[in-house]
Each structure stands twice: as structure tokens, then as C-alpha cells.
């Protein structure tokens, strides 16, 4: 896999990013059909326990890459300790018009405005019934674009009913910048009934022991972030994920900012998000004061970054953009880096 990626990388990076993504997934599906993919071996010292689940390694794949649970055997083979699929919407939707995905390799930066392109919860749930054993899988859920904010709970509940039985934990995505009005659901007045409604459904379905997480944006004002953390901690959910992509173009190095702005709207991920995301996570961890575990996501581009997030107090860490730029060998490199400091 490492050698194949090295050979194909120059071609892949000459293609339109979404075309390259589709090609990579086509190749990944071929790899998943191999009779025997390599089984990862993780050092016992990498094991983590978080929100009642056991993870063979703290490193996971963030939501947004494998939206439909298509390549779970491959992610397991690469060595990820968990994979968060989605974002999954209750009904199929195409997402935003193309082009909607842009990469800037010189800065390790990705801009996307995908808009929750999703096959819909029913199709993804069917695929989850064939998930590989021995891999922790989370389901990241969102609402459909046309659903009014006032009816968002109905969408999250509809997706949950289908996805929750097939995964180990659920993450509620109320922080993507690419669905109009979605981030308004982070406001305490909207968030309290949303979380209460989801916890009621979890109980109704007999899934009280399944962790329910909330994914937050990096662009909240400090006082708003503090209020949201209090709502989350008091609600009875299991943990937080921080952060999603940012709308802040100020994180982009000045020589590249004009080029990024020329691509239009969308959330930024990758190396330029690192400092902003870490500051947000530190504030969340301080506000939580141990009441809930936190999953670190956003701007993690090296073993040192992952180790820093864990040392800050995160229970787990997730990557996405760095995997695109560095390739499949990057997962092993992070594990080696973590072990060198153990």
C-alpha cells in the first residue's frame, strides 16, 4: 500500500481533488476485496479506554473521509484504532455544487464545502452490517440541508435509528460550516433540547451504554464556548470532539491567503488550523475539568502534534488532512513516534 501510494501520488495530485478522492476510493475498494489484508499489531502501551470503549491505539480517522463506511477493512489494516464514518444524513443528498474541494499541498491545507453529500442513513446502515470485527467504528450524524433548524432533532433521530445499531458510538455534527444554519444548533437554547431528545431516543432504543458525543466548531467566541461546554457536561452525553473545520481565513499564511480566498466559501482543515484548534481544545479541557473526555481533531499533522494533544488531556486523537498529504504510511509513523516517547 505504501509503495502503491508513492507511485500514484504524483498522478493523484495532478487530478481535481474530488476526482482524486473518487479514484483513491475505487482503488481502496479493490484493496478491500483482497483475500487477506494485513492485520495490524499494536503495542500494548498504545491502548486507551475512553467513554467506556477500549481502543487499541489513540489514533483514529476523523469523520468526512469515509462518509459511507466504504473502506473499513482498509482503515483497520492501516492501523487506525477507530474510524468515524459520515457525516451521514437521514435522507440521501448530493451536497453542494462542484467544485467544492480544494487542496494546497504547500501549506498542508484543504478547503472543502462538500455540504454533507451522503448516500443516506439506510444505505450506510446496510453497509455497516458487513463491518470488520476488531475495529471501533463511530457514526457521525447531521441533518439534511432542506430541513429547517426547528426540525433538526427529527433528522438526527431518524439517522440515529438507522446508524446507531451498527456502530460503537455516535457523534452529533452541529459544527460543519457548509450546511446553512447548522452551527446555530450549538447555541445553548437550541443545544439543550437537541441533546435531551437524542438521549431520550438512546434510552428508548436500549442503547444507554453507547457513547453519544458532540462535535464543536473552532470559531466560537470564548464565552459561547464556555456556555456550550456547560450545557454538554450537564446534559448526560459522553464526550466532546474538537474541532471541526474553520471559516477563519486568518489562519492561512499571508502569501497563500489570496489564493485560498479566491476559491470561495468553505471550511479549512490541515496544518494552518493547528494552533487555533489547540487553543480551543485547551479552553474546553479547562472548562470540563475532567467531567467529560475530549477527542482531539483539527490540525494534527505529526506524531508530535498527536502526542501534544494527548498530553494536553485529550483521550483520543483523529486525523484526516495529514493522511491525504502524507499517505497510508503516516499512521505507522505516528504510532512509532508515540512509542518513542512512552
Which residues are designated catalytic?
Answer: 176
Long-range contacts of 27-31 (CB under 8 A, 24+ apart): 28/70, 28/71, 28/74, 29/70, 29/71, 31/1, 31/74
Which of helix, strand or coil describes residue 317? Answer: strand
Calculate Rg over the CA atoms of the chain: 19
Cell numbers representing residue 67 in the block? 462518509
Closest CA to 246 of 145, 111, 118, 55: 111
Given the C-alpha cell 487506525, which residue does it identify? 80
Q: How far is CA 215 from CA 186, 258, 286, in A?
A: 9, 29, 17
How is 220-276 classified by DSSP, letter by letter?
Answer: --HHHHHHHHHHHHHHT--EEEE---B--GGGS-HHHHHHHHHT-S-EEEEGGGHHH
Task: Cell numbers for 304, please give them.
Answer: 508530535
* Closest to 46 measured CA to CA, from 322, 305, 342: 342
User: Residue 107, Cβ neighbours under 10 Å: how many?
Assistant: 20
Distance CA 319, CA 309 (A): 12
Q: Tell me which DSSP letter residue 131 carries.
A: P
Q: Note the residue count of the chain.
A: 342
- The x, y and z cell numbers of residue 181, run together, are 444554519
C-beta of residue 297 within 8 angstroms of C-beta of residue 243? yes
Q: Which position has the grid cell 486568518?
A: 250
Amino acid at each position: 500500500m505504501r509503495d502503491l501510494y508513492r507511485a500514484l501520488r504524483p498522478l493523484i495530485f495532478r487530478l481535481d481533488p474530488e476526482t482524486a478522492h473518487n479514484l483513491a476510493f475505487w482503488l481502496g475498494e479493490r484493496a478491500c476485496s483482497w483475500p487477506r489484508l494485513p492485520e495490524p499489531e499494536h503495542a500494548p502501551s498504545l491502548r486507551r479506554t475512553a467513554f467506556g470503549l477500549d481502543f487499541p491505539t489513540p489514533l483514529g480517522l476523523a469523520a468526512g473521509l469515509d462518509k459511507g463506511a466504504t473502506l473499513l477493512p482498509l482503515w483497520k489494516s492501516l492501523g487506525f484504532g477507530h474510524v468515524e464514518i459520515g457525516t451521514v444524513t437521514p435522507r440521501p443528498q448530493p451536497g453542494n455544487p462542484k467544485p467544492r474541494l480544494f487542496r494546497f499541498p504547500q501549506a498542508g491545507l484543504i478547503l472543502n464545502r462538500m455540504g454533507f453529500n451522503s448516500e443516506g442513513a439506510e444505505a450506510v446502515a446496510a453497509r455497516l452490517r458487513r463491518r470488520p470485527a476488531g475495529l471501533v467504528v463511530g457514526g457521525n450524524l447531521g441533518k439534511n440541508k432542506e430541513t429547517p433548524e426547528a426540525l433538526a432533532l427529527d433528522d438526527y433521530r431518524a439517522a440515529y435509528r438507522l446508524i446507531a445499531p451498527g456502530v460503537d458510538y455516535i457523534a452529533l455534527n452541529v459544527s460543519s460550516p457548509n450546511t446553512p444554519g447548522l452551527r446555530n444548533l450549538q447555541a445553548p437554547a437550541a443545544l439543550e433540547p437537541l441533546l435531551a431528545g437524542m438521549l431520550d431516543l438512546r434510552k428508548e432504543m436500549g442503547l444507554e451504554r453507547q457513547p453519544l458525543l458532540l462535535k464543536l466548531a473552532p470559531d466560537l467566541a470564548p464565552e459561547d464556548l464556555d456556555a456550550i461546554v456547560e450545557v454538554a457536561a450537564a446534559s448526560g452525553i459522553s464526550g466532546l470532539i474538537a474541532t471541526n473545520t474553520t471559516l477563519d481565513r486568518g489562519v492561512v499564511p499571508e502569501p497563500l491567503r489570496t489564493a485560498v480566498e479566491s476559491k470561495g466559501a468553505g471550511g479549512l482543515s490541515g496544518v494552518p488550523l493547528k494552533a487555533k484548534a489547540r487553543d480551543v481544545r485547551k479552553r474546553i479541557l479547562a472548562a470540563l475539568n475532567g467531567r467529560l473526555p475530549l477527542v482531539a481533531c483539527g490540525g494534527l499533522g505529526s506524531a508530535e502534534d498527536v502526542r501534544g494533544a494527548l498530553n494536553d488531556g485529550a483521550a483520543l486523537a483523529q486525523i484526516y488532512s495529514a493522511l491525504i498529504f502524507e499517505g497510508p504510511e503516516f499512521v505507522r509513523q505516528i504510532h512509532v513516534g508515540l512509542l518513542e516517547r512512552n
